[in-house]
Amino acid sequence: MKVIETRGLARKFLMGSTEVHALRGVDLSVEQGEFVAIMGPSGSGKSTLLNLLGCLDRPTGGEYLLAGRPVQDLSDRDLAQMRQNQIGFIFQSFNLLPQLSAAENVELPTLYRDQPASRSVAEVLTSVGLADRMDHRPHQLSGGQQQRVAIARALINEPVLLLADEPTGALDSKTGEEMMALLADLHKKGNTILIVTHEEVIAEKCERVVKLRDGEIVSDERLARA
């Protein structure tokens, strides 16, 4: 099954009277279970693409099918629901709520569901190695632990797609490697994962590298596995 299929996906922004073309017609297909790195220089459209794929933003042109469903026809309400049910988002700056414990942060996305989550908060936090940190608040956790909480929060609704925008950008290199090992492990379990990164060492851990420049895909390569 194709989790992602875009055709001519475009996003322009109006800045005063100037049009900024952040994405200029991207055709991208991602099959279920793929582990993809999106690379490219600053300003090449990586975050814009990830936000569109994550239904955080709407395209100004082209089509996007998420798990076979056309996203551009959805109402705002349906789009929000699609995002909640199908997508886990991991940000560079973790985006945890400081006044909530690790467990409460992970529980948050389940509160908007119509059906109970099939995995418990404790189970998911345990799976990312935080069984003994459930009651800690973000400021009582290291950067790496905070990102693990963010990954658990992204996983709790069992999304079809995990999206990460520079997830190791705020971490030291050793903690960044641990984070990649965790994501690689999730990939082995069958999760579909897209990571935006500008670090070669991170991209090397993925199985496919898509490069953007000036809002266009300039290369799309599968990495050989040793």
Binding residues (CB under 6 A) for ligand ADP: these are 13, 15, 20, 22, 40, 42-48
Q: CB 206 → ligand ADP: shortest distance, Å?
A: 17
Q: How many residues bind Mg ion (CB under 5 A)?
A: 2
Q: CB 13 → ligand ADP: shortest distance, Å?
A: 3
Helix axes 173-188, 143-155, angle to 10 degrees: 20
For residues 50 and 152, which CB has a smaller minimum distance to Mg ion in the complex?
50
Instruction: Show the 3-state SS of 10-36.
Output: EEEEEECCEEEEEEEEEEEEEECCCEE
Q: How many residues does the chain have?
A: 226
Q: CB 183 → ligand ADP: shortest distance, Å?
A: 19
For residues 47 and 105, which CB has a smaller minimum distance to Mg ion in the complex?
47
Residues 37-56 that bind Mg ion (CB under 5 A): 46-47
Q: CB 186 → Mg ion: shortest distance, Å?
A: 22
User: The dihedral of CA 111, 112, 116, 121: what is its sign?
Assistant: negative
Q: Is 188 in contact with 44 (CB distance < 8 Å)?
A: no
For residues 47 and 191, which CB has a smaller minimum distance to Mg ion in the complex?
47
Beta-bridge partner residues of 216: 213
Residue 215 burial (CB < 10 Å; 0-12/13-18/19+)? Answer: buried
Considering the rule CB under 5 A, would residue 101 count as an interface residue with Mg ion?
Answer: no
Q: Which does 61 bind (CB under 5 to 8 A by kind): Mg ion, ligand ADP, none?
A: none
Under the rule (CB under 5 A), what is the footprint of Mg ion?
A: 46-47
